[in-house]
Structure 1
């Protein structure tokens, strides 16, 4: 099955304008933009036929071409990464069996997250979209709770059924737990990793659906699939001692740089 990876990158982010071009310092002191580090993460994934950056902004286009990425220009009317992936797939002429959305704010995404995700979608023919979930340890859960306490929207959490079909995604920390966890404890909370694998028919249908009340309230694009009766598969992935965090707010930059330094990531 052919696999296309699209990295949607939008300059006009509401929470963090210009985010794709924010520099991140690696363990060796080299500064690379967020979109370049996301592109490098995509290029490390095995079994991928093509990787493109999809944007509507000339600044991102020029920066991405400068570090060697293939760039697809998409409309300013795309309201989220999924719509941008759908348009990019169409602009490229379609024909891919699986389209992966590796969002441009997740440079710490390990290659096996995406590989496991694609394998999960291949092995579950009734699922039309798949997305990774990572069980939080105490440290990750405390970071999520600290963000909410400070009034920031940090990571997204997911709950799913016995068949790993998604039940809900939220920017709140769900499910509720009153327990206190130590740093290395396993918790009942799963961090949603911002990567998606779509079957092309479902992806092509997505922009035609209206934004539903849940997507509008949460600001989470994957809820549009669920609100239209499409099965979203949650593929549980393992950290393998790697730290993971997404760049959602300016406060996340030093956190991600510290993680990169600790893991020795250039």
Structure 2
């Protein structure tokens, strides 16, 4: 089973231009770019044959090659990370059994999230794409709710069936719950972790499908699979005491730096 990890990265983010090159200071005071930290997260995953960064920007290419990453240049016409992964896989000549999309804004993604994700897809032959979900505790849920109240997109939530087939993903906090939870108490809300594992046939078909109304409304690329009747598997992962957050807005930088400091991550 051959596995390729692609880290899609673009400079022209509407919410945070230049985000892949944003500097994050670790526990020892060492500053590294977001894209470098995401690349280190990818290279820590076991059972992976190749890791590449896919971008259309020469600034990201130069920075990535400077810290030793392999870079695949892709078109500026790619609408999202999945389309960029599809182009990168094709440019490399294909041939991988599973392609993992580790988005370049999730440097705190633990290696076991991706290892569990790949194993989940291997074990579910009916699924064409798999993605991790993490049960929120009270503290994480409160953070998501606070972001939405302030008008920020702080993360994506997922709901799924008993067989873990995805039912919906949203930038709103779903499902609704009126209960107040203690910080360490588990909640019924699952945070979607922005990583995907695709079977190559579904990945190759994805760019040819039209963007549907749900993808347009939510701005979530995985909804295109669902709107085209493809099975998306939600793989529940365990935090194991590790804090996790994605860098969506400039305001997330100190939050992520604080998490790295508490975890002792350089």
- 1:72 to 2:86 alignment: no
Paired position in structure 1 for 2:103: 103
Paired position in structure 2 for 1:195: 195
TM-score of the superposed pair, with normalisation by structure 2? 1.00
Alpha-carbon shift at residue 88 of structure 1 (Å)? 0.1
Alpha-carbon separation, structure 2, partners of 1:157 and 1:64: 30
Paired position in structure 2 for 1:141: 141
Paired position in structure 1 for 2:222: 222
Alpha-carbon separation, structure 2, partners of 1:79 and 1:147: 25
Paired position in structure 2 for 1:112: 112
SS of the residue 1:229 aligns to: coil
Alpha-carbon separation, structure 1, partners of 2:106 and 2:140: 15
- 1:122 to 2:157 alignment: no
Alpha-carbon separation, structure 2, partners of 1:14 and 1:218: 15
SS of the residue 1:118 aligns to: helix
Paired position in structure 1 for 2:18: 18
Alpha-carbon separation, structure 1, partners of 2:135 and 2:129: 20
Alpha-carbon shift at residue 181 of structure 1 (Å)? 0.7
Alpha-carbon shift at residue 253 of structure 1 (Å)? 0.2
- 1:94 to 2:94 alignment: yes
Alpha-carbon shift at residue 32 of structure 1 (Å)? 0.3
Alpha-carbon shift at residue 150 of structure 1 (Å)? 0.2
- 1:164 to 2:197 alignment: no
Alpha-carbon shift at residue 189 of structure 1 (Å)? 0.2
Alpha-carbon separation, structure 1, partners of 2:239 and 2:191: 11
Paired position in structure 2 for 1:211: 211
Gaps of 5+ in 2: none
Paired position in structure 2 for 1:184: 184
After TM superposition, which residue ranges in structure 1, 4 or more long, deviate above 4 angstroms?
none
- 1:55 to 2:55 alignment: yes
Alpha-carbon separation, structure 2, partners of 1:226 and 1:19: 28
Paired position in structure 1 for 2:35: 35
Alpha-carbon separation, structure 2, partners of 1:119 and 1:78: 28
SS of the residue 1:152 aligns to: coil
Alpha-carbon separation, structure 1, partners of 2:238 and 2:95: 31
TM-score of the superposed pair, with normalisation by structure 1? 1.00
RMSD: 0.2
Alpha-carbon separation, structure 2, partners of 1:139 and 1:245: 12
SS of the residue 1:245 aligns to: coil
Gaps of 5+ in 1: none
SS of the residue 2:116 aligns to: helix
